Structure 1
Amino acid sequence: MNVEQFELLVTRVMPYGKYKGRVIADLPGHYLNWFAREGFPPGEIGRLLALMHEIDHNGLKSLLEPFRKK
């Protein structure tokens, strides 16, 4: 895990699905849990969703606040 991944979580948008266009850091926990149960997609989006799931599941969303653009 590195700073660049945190920056991507607050800037990269979901490219498809129910929450298309929403920043990955702002995806609801139940949606991230669904991916955790069903399988994360391949590639960068899957890695970011898995990371965001871990952050959300462990109550660590506040770690992302310094990376959000003001």
Structure 2
Amino acid sequence: MKADDLERLVTLEMPFGKHQGRLIADLPGNYLNWFAREGFPPGEIGRLLQLMQELDHNGLRPLLDPLRRQP
């Protein structure tokens, strides 16, 4: 994990698929678990999806709340 990965989760949108345009941090757990079963895509997006799946699986999503941009 890189130092800015957590911030990327709350700023980077999903670039493809069923949830295209949603922040990675806002992807549903069942979608992340599907990637865990079927395989994460290569590159940065796959690495970030895997990180988000780990956070979700371990109940750590609230750690991202302070990093979200305030309206």
- Normalising by structure 1, what TM-score? 0.97
> Which residue of structure 2 aligns with residue 60 of structure 1?
60
The residue type equivalent to 1:20 in the other structure is: Q
The residue type equivalent to 1:10 in the other structure is: V
- Normalising by structure 2, what TM-score? 0.95
> Which residue of structure 1 aligns with residue 31 of structure 2?
31
1:1-70 paired onto structure 2 within 5 Å: 1-70=1-70
Percent sequence identity over aligned pairs:
69
Superposition RMSD in Å:
0.8
Structure 2 unaligned residues grouped into runs of 5+: none
Distance 1:33 1:17 in 2: 15
Distance 1:66 1:12 in 2: 16
Query: Secondary structure of 2:45's partner?
Result: helix
The residue type equivalent to 1:66 in the other structure is: P
Query: Secondary structure of 1:55's partner?
Result: helix
User: Could you give the per-residue CA deviations for residues 40-67 of structure 1, whole angstroms, max 9, x where no partner exists?
Assistant: 0000000000000000000000110111
Give 4+ residue runs of structure 1 displaced > 3 Å after superposition: none
